[in-house]
Amino acid sequence: MEHKWLGAGLLAMGVVGLCTLVAGPGGAERTVTAAVTVAAGDVVELPEAPRGGGMGVYGALGMRASARDFAGGAIGPETWSRLLWAACGVNRTDGRWTIPTALNRRDLRVYVLDAAGVWRYDPEAHALVCRAAGDWRAVSGAQPYVAEAAANLVYVAVPPEGKGRRGAREAWVRCAAFEAGCAAQGVALACASEGLKNVVRGSYPEAELRAVLGLAEDEIILMAQSVGP
């Protein structure tokens, strides 16, 4: 059995955890992760996302499909960098994102629940900020496979200024839902390119997930997405 360092594993690279690639029976490879220790407030900088490479957009569209048979295992930092950049990373010098956002307000937040912790993606820093340590993946959905996915993304709408205006709430929630859809499709295409599985989910235990994410009362969970090998 061959053990090969991949570098820092999970999202907790630079903290403690390292993952190894293990050649299993028949030469099949699977990724395993060592125990990691993270704490709320830890910041994990992601490698810069490459602007080229990967599958062409039409090839990725041809491969996009929901899959729920997650095999376990982690996603490495280079891949996380690409997946999250596809979700809502900064792609221009003026700070705008890979997805369109209403009035360029960028009110969408993406959270990542993996085996190490709960993280908020910071697009400007291209980094993950730990909200809570621990494996909370199972809380992100009602279906058993969510605990087997390497991670579950959760898309959250944050209200903009002026939310008290008549009719404004419906408008910003509608816009944020559109933005979450764009982000989730970006992740789905990146998953296709990376050979990873993904499925978007509208089902999750609202109260428990809100508590784990530590959301403010006026923040709204829009959608979840399970990703992994």
Ligand X SMILES: Cc1cc2nc3c(=O)[nH]c(=O)nc-3n(C[C@H](O)[C@H](O)[C@H](O)COP(=O)(O)O)c2cc1C
- Scanning residues 83 to 142, which ones bind ligand X (CB under 6 A)? none
Q: Is 62 in the site for ligand X (CB under 6 A)?
A: no
3-19 CB burial, b ≥16 within 10 A, e <16: eeebebbbbbbebebbb
H helices within 12-114, ranges in order?
A: 57-63, 77-88
Shortest spacing between CB 199 and ligand X, in angstroms: 5
| Lookup result for tokens 């403010």 | 216
User: 167 vs 161, 173, 214, 219, CA distance in Å?
Assistant: 13, 11, 26, 17
If binding means CB under 6 A, how many residues of this protein chain bind ligand X?
9
Which of 5, 34, 37, 66 binds ligand X (CB under 6 A)? It is 66
- Scanning residues 202 to 221, which ones bind ligand X (CB under 6 A)? 202-203
Which of 23, 39, 43, 65 binds ligand X (CB under 6 A)? It is 65
Which of 82, 137, 201, 210 binds ligand X (CB under 6 A)? It is 201
Which of 143, 158, 160, 173 binds ligand X (CB under 6 A)? It is 143
Shortest spacing between CB 7 and ligand X, in angstroms: 32
DSSP string, 170-200: HHHHHHHHHHHHHHHHHHHHHHHHHT-EEEE
* Among the residue ranges 13-21, 158-166, 170-178, 197-205, the one whose residues contact ligand X (CB under 6 A): 197-205
Rg of the chain (C-alpha set): 17
Which of 199, 209, 212, 221 binds ligand X (CB under 6 A)? It is 199
Q: Is 37 in the site for ligand X (CB under 6 A)?
A: no
Return the sign of the alpha-carbon dihedral for residues 47, 51, 56, 60.
positive
Tokens of 133: 């340590």
Could you tell me which residues come within 8 angstroms of residue 58 by beta carbon, excluding any fewer than 6 positions away?
none
Q: Is 200 in the site for ligand X (CB under 6 A)?
A: yes
* Among the residue ranges 23-31, 37-45, 163-171, 194-202, the one whose residues contact ligand X (CB under 6 A): 194-202
- Write out the residues near ligand X by the rule CB under 6 A: 65-66, 68, 143, 199-203
